[in-house]
Chains A and B, each alone.
Chain A
């Protein structure tokens, strides 16, 4: 029963996607084109984020660490 509900829910979600993007009015081959293009873009986004986001996050954290380190050095220098 749960699988059936899940299937219906996914069907409803797809229907909502069709309605909201306006694809509902297009012919089936046009819908396929749009879905293909959209999925390709989503796949590229996922791939790019998988490759680059960890590196960017690490670099950003390093920069913030440098900032904090610099502040600490400045304060110790002033008081010392």
Chain B
């Protein structure tokens, strides 16, 4: 702690949040205000550094040139000089409303196809800390692929959501799952409300409720469907949903399906949220000015594209002041943050009963599939009767439920071993180490220091493809993300740190990143000193 720390704290108080800072797809520039009375240490722990101006200019230049070539190739295809590999209208339909002329199709044809070999790579082992890839080549610039038959072994996996390392095939740990398969079979062949309510579901739900510190919980077979099918059961027309700018598609879909009015507040910005709350309460519903039946604030624990953690204490304070309800989607944060893996409520030291609807998925930290919703008993009982997922979707498969039970018992320590808590601590240590070293190397990283999701900014479209291919050559598998999942100027590589990664693996990855950062020119960060210390 010293002069460096104070200077950098000043700097971080005026750092604008990355997502709303970049020019969004509508072309308008948005800015957050300075951070308000949040605890000083929390504003220091998040960073969304902006890249130098020339990077944005060059990114636009790159996109512009490739777009021009896109128009050129479309012209060649239209004239007939080149064969079109994608879907096209038939000759008789050429006078109809065009189907394939919108920007998304143009983008897919002319930019995505050229670098398509970096996604959907076939994997032929379990997605642990290291995995095997099938080698795949393309003879016609990514329009078709063929497998060469060789396997690339022991590629370091920096892309799977395997936060606590439960994607493993240790026979001893998986014995309960095998027993459940023998006892129950795989399929349930019914919905929860009909004949699909098994005793294993009961056991799982009680365990989930005690894990989270909630009164009661209900589990569903699919994580995405948990959000999209249960938000319509909780709110409907006449209610207001205040949703964060960067919420996941499942939340947006659920909100739209419900028919409630949706208002969006800037990412993690409490002034924006408070302004919306005030306006909602003063103004009421749009034309009639009647009070809203319900106001639901929908946020996520960790935002997976930014790596930022929600400002939960402030949102809970706002919610109590304005009498709104809070829906917290802990898909990435459950099991991954918090001293014993209980999620963001434990990270901030809050009471879980402050959050009205605790939602999460079992896909990320528990190595299974499915989602849950927890909260007061009345809420969960209502959902058991009224949720679309309970009424129409098949119940969770028993081996999957058994895997979640064993993973949760492992984390809670109920199986008598300390493996679970060791993994939680190892993840926290790996996260801090990885983030600190990346910042020291000079890359721009987004997000909070505690988040195991680490987005590394690449910006330019050419570098996105080059980065992914170069990392694969060095036997490291990364996920790169560009438009439309991120703003068009902020393409990034997203690393997911796992507790199963050893220090050697992380060092190997960091070493390759160092080399590639110099070779490709990715070290844009202008920070001089490290602000964050490894407290171990």
Spell out A's residues near B (CB within 8 Å): 12, 15-16, 18-27, 30, 34
Contact = CB atoms under 8 A, between A and B. Distances in A.
Contacts of B122: none
Nearest to B463: A19
B7 interface: no
B61 A25 contact: no
B66 A26 contact: yes
Q: Is the interface of B mostly helix, strand, loop or mixed?
A: helix
Given A12-B519, A26-B114, A21 B466 contact: no
Size range of the interface on B? 20 to 34
B462 A20 contact: yes
B259 interface: no
Interface in B239-292: none
A68 B116 CA distance: 65
A16 B466 CA distance: 11
Nearest to B64: A22
B66 A22 contact: yes
A18 to B, nearest CB: 7
A25 B460 CA distance: 11
Given A20-B58, A20-B460, 13 more contacts: A18-B462, A19-B460, A19-B466, A19-B520, A20-B62, A21-B62, A22-B62, A22-B65, A22-B66, A22-B460, A22-B461, A25-B465, A34-B65
B520 A23 contact: no
B462 A25 contact: yes
A15 B154 CA distance: 29
9 contacts: A15-B519, A16-B521, A19-B463, A20-B62, A21-B62, A22-B462, A24-B462, A25-B461, A27-B141
A-B pairs with lowest CB-CB distance, top 5: A22-B62, A24-B462, A19-B462, A25-B114, A22-B462
A23 B520 CA distance: 14
Interface of B: 58, 61-63, 65-66, 69, 72, 111, 114-115, 141, 460-463, 465-466, 519-521
A56 to B, nearest CB: 29
A30 B68 CA distance: 11
A58 B465 CA distance: 50
A30 to B, nearest CB: 6
Contacts of A22: 61-63, 65-66, 460-462
Nearest to A24: B462
Contacts of A26: 66, 69, 114
Contact of A24 (B63, B69, B465): B465
A21 B65 contact: yes
Contacts of B63: 22
Nearest to B60: A22
Nearest to B68: A34
Contact of B69 (A16, A20, A30): A30
A38 to B, nearest CB: 10
Nearest to B522: A19
B61 A21 contact: yes
Nearest to B115: A25
Contacts of B141: 27
A77 B356 CA distance: 90
A31 to B, nearest CB: 10
A58 to B, nearest CB: 35
A23 B65 contact: yes
Max chain B Cβ within 10 angstroms of own Cβ: one of A15, A16, A21, A22: A22
A34 B69 CA distance: 9
Contacts of A27: 114, 141
Max chain A Cβ within 10 angstroms of own Cβ: one of B63, B65, B141, B461: B65
A74 B460 CA distance: 59
